[in-house]
Amino acid sequence: MNSNVLLLLGVTLVWGTTFPLLKAIAVDLDGVEITAVRFVLAALCLLPFLRKTSRAVWRDGALLGGFALVSYVAQAYGLQHISSNRSAFLTSLNVLMVPLLGFVFGRGLSWNALTAALLACLGIGLMSWEGGGNLLGDGATVLSALAYALYVIFLSQRSNRHDSRQLAATQITLMALFGCVWMVLGAQGSTALASLPTRLIPHLPALVYLGVVASAGMLFLQALAQRHVPAEKAAIVYAMEPVFAAMFGWLWLSESLGVRGACGGVLVVAAMVLSELRAAPAACPQD
């Protein structure tokens, strides 16, 4: 594996730790509140990189931040209704959405990428079979997967045009702004904002980790690595997220993963290896 793929794998490992944390926080905070607070903390870390940013960086940051915000909010909302394992598995359906959407946008469809994506989705399906379903939770999480698939495609398309630090800083700052506006508008006529500090304080260490490490740090590393990794291959690497999430869910929340789920995890790993061993370089799509 090359260094950029290994870097994305490390990013995916850190993201795997977020599912049990989000599940625990969702007891007291809703998806919009979690996302807004998380990205305000992340934006504070990246403020120095906003200096001398061009209009083009802000434009692409707004596009990427919009897709990412929808993905994170929908994912956090879904976690209020389904297990962290099931959420991770459904979120990772973006591994199949990425090559299919890329084809819709005029990118060639590689049989190797499609085969690896189908294998990963089969593994994800086996793993998700273990958890109980919920219409609202599953629907929100599939929406999260779709938004994230679009994010991955546009990130591979635009990340090599800008400094990675500036691109991460602009999209996170805009996500924090959009998230706060969304939270305030959604709380009109309720006591949610007044009770937010009380509900937030018990989860502050986890929120700092989500904001500083899993958001600011990992979105920067993701933007850096995806300059050199095609969207289809990146999506296969991200399919490891439910494997890591299942591991941390088992360690921290005592969530079980049966034989069928373990077999699904093996298929996801096999898909990533297949993609790495046989994938042919693909050019990023142009506007």
* Tokens 């991200």, residue located: 238
Residue 199 lies in a domain: yes
Residue 73 lies in a domain: yes
Q: Rounded to the nearest 5°, which phi and psi values hold at 264? A: -60, -40
pLDDT at 150 over 50: yes
End-to-end CA gap in the chain: 29
pLDDT at 284 over 60: no
Residue 283 lies in a domain: no
Residue 232 lies in a domain: yes
Q: For a pLDDT cut of 70, what percent of the chain falls above it?
A: 83
Burial of 149 from C-beta contacts in 10 A (0-12 / 13-18 / 19+): buried
Residue 221 lies in a domain: yes
- pLDDT by residue (tens digit) across 228-269? 888 878 877 887 777 777 777 677 766 666 677 677 767 777
> Cα 269 to the chain's mean position, in Å?
18
Residue 284 lies in a domain: no
The CB density around residue 47, as the number of other CB atoms within 10 Å, is 11
- The DSSP code for 283 is P
pLDDT at 278 over 80: no
- pLDDT by residue (tens digit) across 68-108? 888 888 887 887 788 766 776 777 777 778 877 877 776 66
Q: Which of 19-23, 168-172, 271-275, 276-280 has the lowest mean pLDDT?
A: 276-280
Q: Is the dihedral of CA 180, 181, 182, 187 positive or negative?
A: positive
Question: Residue 108: what pLDDT?
Answer: 64
173/60 Cα distance (integer angstroms)? 12
Crossing angle of the two packed helices 241-253 and 3-25, in degrees rounded to 10: 40
Question: Residue 100: what pLDDT?
Answer: 78
Question: Residue 129: what pLDDT?
Answer: 59
286/109 Cα distance (integer angstroms)? 15
Domain range spanning residue 129?
3-278
Q: What is the mean pLDDT of residues 114-131?
A: 70
Residue 267 lies in a domain: yes
Stronger pLDDT, 204 or 31, i.e. the higher one: 204
What is the rounded average pLDDT for all residues in the chain? 80
- pLDDT by residue (tens digit) across 163-176? 888 998 999 999 89
| The total number of structural domains that make up the chain | 1
Its pTM surpasses 0.85? no
| Tokens, residue 33 | 């509140």
pLDDT at 208 over 90: yes
Residue 285 lies in a domain: no
Q: Which of 23-32, 143-152, 218-227, 259-268 has the lowest mean pLDDT?
A: 259-268
pLDDT-derived band at 109 (thresholds 50, 70, 90) equals low
